[in-house]
Structure 1
Amino acid sequence: MNKQFKIGAIATAVTSVFSTPVLAEDSAADKLIERVQIIGQKQKLKTESGSATFIGEEELAQFKFDDINRVLYSIPGVNIREEDGFGLRPNIGFRGVTPERSKKITIMEDGVLIGPAPYSAPAAYYFPMMTKINSLEVFKGPSAIKYGPFTVAGALNLTTRPVPSALEGAIDLSVGSNGYQKIHGYAGDTHGKFGYLVEAAKVKSDGFKELDGGGDTGFDKNDIMAKFQYDFSTDSYNQIVELKIDYADEVSNETYLGLTDADFKQNPNRRYTASQKDKMDWDHQQVMLTHFIGNDDFDVTTKVYRHDFKRSWFKINGLKRQGGGTLPALQNILAEPERYEDLLRLLKGEIDSSRNNELIILGDNNRKFYSQGIQSELYWYTKLAGLKHSFNIGARFHQDQIQRRHTEDSFLMTSSQLVSDGIAQVATSTNLEETDAISIFIKDTISYKALDVTVGVRGEFIDAYFQNQAPSKDGDWQKKSTQIWLPSLSAFYKLSDNSGVFFGIHEGFVPSSPKQPSSIKPENSINYELGGRYNNGNTNLEATVFFNDIENLIETCGFSNCGQDDEKEFNSGKASVAGLELTAGHTFTLNSSFDLPVSLAYTYTKAKFDTAFESAFPQWGNVKKGDKLPYTPENQLTLKVGIQANDWGINAIGRYIDSMQEASGEGVLLSGVETDALSIVDLSANYSFDKYGVIYLKVDNVFDKQEIVSRRPYGARPSKARQAFVGYQYQF
């Protein structure tokens, strides 16, 4: 089913007359930035009738985080399951949904789906390098309805640097502990109607974990991006075209193999010998062509995009006996070390395989993806029946595909080294999934005096296909079609120039894979929120209560959470998530030379099952009514404090994350087991030499506190150890 790219499959029709002007004084480039950035930051008081958070370039620069997890902890309503300590493959959820591989949130770069195959295989094994990200936005509740396919939780939009209007550039060099190195630079300019930007970044580290017998546990990531822009504006229309090209790659010596709890207590950074060959190797290419046109009456932004991603993760999968015979799963060995003492010693390299002919199985999860599409979005303002209407209409045709070529090789542990046993490689998963999807959304914001009411609907029309391509199979295609309309209703009432209240309700949706039987249903929920916000330019406050009423959850058992290759999906009984999100910030002026900015983000989440059921899913088991959902902390708190002077600044950020359930019910391996509560403090400081640049120092995890953040899939995994950096940045 090699389909050609259907560039004509989408169109936006406009039949009405516009009357309310958009910002006519802005250039075409300014308006393009607004449409890419979605929220922007021009308004002191945001009047979106839904939860939306913007983190701009200045705030991102305070701590220069390379890890998306450390950035998102400052946003309420975000739940994260950490994995490698660097955020290489993040696990992000919003409002209590599973954080597993960020597969239930919609992830975008510059307003376009950025996952390897967002419909066919939504697990985010690729994530954009944070070093190149200029700003980010998080949408939850009704504000996320336009960004599907997943509307149950929310959307994350990462924006890259825009083409500058004049000559501009920077170089950023940094070194630190554990062999950390960063080189980041960009340069761009606009000459007449033509503008360009070139940006490149390299980040590497030797890693903070200590491999038994020695070895690299770090990573090396590279990204280079170019943008070319031409302004076709006339007296009648603002019009601009931009071409974006990006290449990125990563080699990381990462593993799924963790530790026993006892070994974690002795040294949380230890890595067993059996993981010495584990390595992820990927590369990613993207190209996007954007066209913007508008005048005082309307504007339309159209994007055509193509992403290609291929990866190979060679890693330990399990054990088996030479000549056949089963051995316990790695999860069991790490969870019950006294019972499987000899097998644990084998993983540590303390004994050789030859004693009992045990083989260590390493699998290569070799996957190839593409994602491509065309989307168009219209903004239109008019008056009807004496009321102001702000229409936002969009459509997208999208195709994506994942091709799996998984294999396994067997090794002997010999003198603390993995040595091939000479047996031929075995193919384990050979299949293909692909999806054609048409999405449509319509939003109308009706304004009457201080009240804005937004009515919206999203349509998803999905044709998904699966083919088992193993030689022993007949290769027949399995097809699953889904058509659904997802409504939303929200309102914002402006109490004053500085304050307002909002309410929203929308339907959440997560499709199921065509690989799964028809008994596996899509996830559906009705989600509510009620809140208020205040902002006078110096003080801001926002509080939101939310409730998600979930008909059934859908979860996937894969390597990252179950240590299994079958990627089988499961449905639960009914569930609900209720909570409170709170943000507050104020800048205290100490005197004419010093400011003291303080901000706080707090989340309370109560996520539970509302019905009893039995499941073979290893994170559920035998669930009773009222059991907590896994990996959802009840309390999270982030506090930021800074001192800002004319030419220097110091900023500290402290985070607290409650313990989390590793499994919900009884009768599964990690029943009744929790992760550790985590308290972390990060620190940054900078000094400006004016035109000669800035020197900065930062320390992640100042007090070097490490806790168990997960025991999935194979044993205890640590939070990141203390890491110090020093850097120099020069801008022109």
Structure 2
Amino acid sequence: MRTNPQRAAYAAIKLAITSYAIFHPGLGQAQQDEPSKTLEEVTVSADWLGSPTPKTAKKHPGARTVITNQEISESGSRTVEDVLRTVPGVRVLDESGVGYLPNIGVRGLNPLRSEQVLILVDGIPIPLAPYGQTGLSLFPLTINSIETVDVARGGVAVHYGPNNVGGVINFVTKPIPHQTSMTFKETLSVFSGGNLLADTYFRAGGFVNDKLGFQLQANVIGGNTAREHSKTEVNNLMLDSHWLVTDRSEVKAGIQYYKTSNQLPGALTPKSYEQNRNQSTRPLDHFNGDTLRGNLTYNYFFDNGAEFSWINFGHRSNREFIFGNSTNADIASTQEQSSPRNFIVYGSEPRFTFNIDGSIKQKISVGARYMREEVDYLVDARNLMTGAYTISRNWRF
């Protein structure tokens, strides 16, 4: 039952509706006579990642960030780690202090050895063994060779294989310029105590004619940081070529040699940190690695928008961590432990992409991937007092 205030409000609403109907008697009939309207056609499209540009990222049906070369330059980033720290949802742990060994995590996943995110360079995976040894314990890339960083988080990652639940990070290297050009860049970092770290970058390339282009990039990093026992040596050499075979086909090829040798200052106990935060109490710890990589890609573009792509890649790599066995950084180690790994990996991936035009437009991609990985997995130790040598693991995958 309505109360008196409710009755008054109900009567007012009823009176207003009646009055509107009296003064506008043809309104209901006009709405019935008006012809129905048809909405404009809405097209929904998606093409995996597409080109790594901010414009493409805005149309991507998911969380995606594209960092351009201009943004990298304006941010003042010195390392790959610095660039990735600007991306929402990406966490980077600094293991080296110089940026040659980043540990990357996406959306709260463990960043250790970047195991939960797939790292690509120009669309090709760079883990030492993308299926068998997913940890990225050698990072053969320097910031000066990067043109664009494309970070895609979420379900699109499944298109690129397993072991990438966090997403995909694709580093696009600098393209071959149309006009022959040369770049030289020198960066010096001076630390307390007078330590100096030099980063030298050289790039030269261009198209020698309408069909063929070459490019050479060299990046050398060397010196010491603020910490003791922090000597760093990084050499990154890249040679790329681009051959426009016909108006519809092209061949891209590249070869890279990357080598690094670094001392690891290690963590400090609170007591050691209060004494001297720049000291190192782990004189045995260091890291070495090298890799020789090659890739060859053939693309053919059909008149109807279809595309055939055939990617081939491989590498021969070595990396080794050497540590003292002491769990307390203030106690000298009595044993030196090492874990060398040797990798031989090669893969081939043909793919055919085509469109189906009809009432609903579809883009279909069909392909396959063959990959072979050979890994020598060794863990050994040497007693510093007696010289005794032992092997605890000697595996081959």
Whole-angstrom CA distance in 1 between matches of 2:54 and 2:395: 48
What corresponds to 2:196 in structure 1? 179
Alpha-carbon deviations, 1:568-618, whole Å to 9, x = none?
xxxxxxxxxxxxxxxxxxxxxxxxxxxxxxxxxxxxxxxxxxxxxxxxxxx
Whole-angstrom CA distance in 2 between matches of 1:397 and 1:170: 38
Preserved CA contact (<8 Å) 2:314 2:345: yes
Q: What is the DSSP-based 3-state SS (H/G/I as helix, E as strand, rest coil) of the residue aligned with 1:81? A: strand
What corresponds to 1:423 in structure 2? 387
Is residue 302 of structure 2 the alignment partner of residue 295 of structure 1? yes
Is residue 210 of structure 2 the alignment partner of residue 192 of structure 1? yes
Letter of the aligned partner of 1:168 in structure 2?
S
Whole-angstrom CA distance in 1 between matches of 2:54 and 2:285: 47
- CA 134–45 in structure 1, closer or farther in 2 if over 3 Å, else same: closer
Letter of the aligned partner of 2:199 in structure 1?
K
Preserved CA contact (<8 Å) 1:64 1:131: no
Is residue 373 of structure 2 the alignment partner of residue 400 of structure 1? yes
* Residue identity (%): 22
Preserved CA contact (<8 Å) 2:286 2:322: yes
What corresponds to 2:137 in structure 1? 125
Equivalent position to 1:276, from 280, 283, 296: 283
Is residue 269 of structure 2 the alignment partner of residue 260 of structure 1? yes
What corresponds to 1:361 in structure 2? 335
Is residue 312 of structure 2 the alignment partner of residue 304 of structure 1? yes
**Which ranges in structure 2 are unaligned for 5 or more consecutive residues?**
1-46
Letter of the aligned partner of 2:221 in structure 1?
V
Instruction: Determine which structure has the larger strand proportion and give its number.
Output: 1
Preserved CA contact (<8 Å) 1:227 1:244: yes
Equivalent position to 1:379, from 353, 359, 362: 353
What corresponds to 2:256 in structure 1? 246
Preserved CA contact (<8 Å) 2:264 2:287: yes
Equivalent position to 1:52, from 52, 58, 64: 64
**Residue 44 of structure 1: CA displacement?**
6.8
Is residue 364 of structure 2 the alignment partner of residue 391 of structure 1? yes
Q: What is the DSSP-based 3-state SS (H/G/I as helix, E as strand, rest coil) of the residue aligned with 1:62? A: helix
**Residue 375 of structure 1: CA displacement?**
1.3
Preserved CA contact (<8 Å) 2:54 2:65: no
Q: What is the DSSP-based 3-state SS (H/G/I as helix, E as strand, rest coil) of the residue aligned with 1:262? A: helix
**Residue 193 of structure 1: CA displacement?**
1.2
Whole-angstrom CA distance in 2 between matches of 1:362 and 1:44: 51
Q: What is the DSSP-based 3-state SS (H/G/I as helix, E as strand, rest coil) of the residue aligned with 1:387? A: coil
Preserved CA contact (<8 Å) 1:182 1:204: yes
- CA 60–286 in structure 1, closer or farther in 2 if over 3 Å, else same: same
Q: What is the DSSP-based 3-state SS (H/G/I as helix, E as strand, rest coil) of the residue aligned with 2:61? A: coil
Preserved CA contact (<8 Å) 1:187 1:199: yes
Whole-angstrom CA distance in 1 between matches of 2:383 and 2:284: 12
Is residue 174 of structure 2 the alignment partner of residue 161 of structure 1? yes
What corresponds to 1:462 in structure 2? none
Q: What is the DSSP-based 3-state SS (H/G/I as helix, E as strand, rest coil) of the residue aligned with 1:217? A: coil
Per the normalisation by structure 2, the TM-score is 0.81
Whole-angstrom CA distance in 2 between matches of 1:97 and 1:228: 37
Whole-angstrom CA distance in 2 between matches of 1:225 and 1:405: 30
Letter of the aligned partner of 2:269 in structure 1?
T
**Which ranges in structure 1 are unaligned for 5 or more consecutive residues?**
1-33, 211-215, 319-329, 335-343, 348-358, 412-420, 434-732
Whole-angstrom CA distance in 2 between matches of 1:46 and 1:296: 28
Whole-angstrom CA distance in 1 between matches of 2:109 and 2:367: 26
What corresponds to 2:77 in structure 1? 65
Q: What is the DSSP-based 3-state SS (H/G/I as helix, E as strand, rest coil) of the residue aligned with 2:72? A: helix
Q: Which has the higher contact order (CA 8 A, sep 6+)?
A: 1
**Residue 290 of structure 1: CA displacement?**
0.7
Preserved CA contact (<8 Å) 1:66 1:129: no
Q: Which structure has the bigger radius of gyration?
A: 2
Is residue 124 of structure 2 the alignment partner of residue 112 of structure 1? yes
Alpha-carbon deviations, 1:39-62, whole Å to 9, x = none?
322737721111111111111222
Instruction: Please list, as runs of the form range in 1=range in 2, the aligned pairs for 1:407-556 lying within 5 A after superposition.
Output: 407-411=380-384, 421-433=385-397
More deviation, 298-307/41-50:
41-50
Q: What is the DSSP-based 3-state SS (H/G/I as helix, E as strand, rest coil) of the residue aligned with 2:94? A: coil
Whole-angstrom CA distance in 1 between matches of 2:338 and 2:73: 37
- CA 291–64 in structure 1, closer or farther in 2 if over 3 Å, else same: farther
Alpha-carbon deviations, 1:197-251, whole Å to 9, x = none?
11111112312213xxxxx4121101111112211114xxx10011100001001
- CA 42–231 in structure 1, closer or farther in 2 if over 3 Å, else same: farther
What corresponds to 1:75 in structure 2? 87
Preserved CA contact (<8 Å) 1:137 1:157: yes
What corresponds to 1:481 in structure 2? none
**Residue 155 of structure 1: CA displacement?**
0.9
Letter of the aligned partner of 1:118 in structure 2?
P
Count, aligned residues: 345
Whole-angstrom CA distance in 2 between matches of 1:192 and 1:243: 17
What corresponds to 2:233 in structure 1? 220
- CA 209–89 in structure 1, closer or farther in 2 if over 3 Å, else same: same
What corresponds to 1:440 in structure 2? none
Alpha-carbon deviations, 1:268-306, whole Å to 9, x = none?
32211xx22322121111000011110332112211000
Preserved CA contact (<8 Å) 1:48 1:143: no
Whole-angstrom CA distance in 1 between matches of 2:57 and 2:157: 19
Preserved CA contact (<8 Å) 1:49 1:143: no
Whole-angstrom CA distance in 2 between matches of 1:163 and 1:378: 26
Per the normalisation by structure 1, the TM-score is 0.45
CA RMSD of aligned residues (A): 2.3
Whole-angstrom CA distance in 2 between matches of 1:199 and 1:151: 29
Whole-angstrom CA distance in 2 between matches of 1:38 and 1:221: 32
Preserved CA contact (<8 Å) 1:188 1:198: yes
Letter of the aligned partner of 2:343 in structure 1?
F
- CA 187–38 in structure 1, closer or farther in 2 if over 3 Å, else same: farther
- CA 74–141 in structure 1, closer or farther in 2 if over 3 Å, else same: same
- CA 307–38 in structure 1, closer or farther in 2 if over 3 Å, else same: farther
- CA 97–169 in structure 1, closer or farther in 2 if over 3 Å, else same: same
**Residue 129 of structure 1: CA displacement?**
2.0
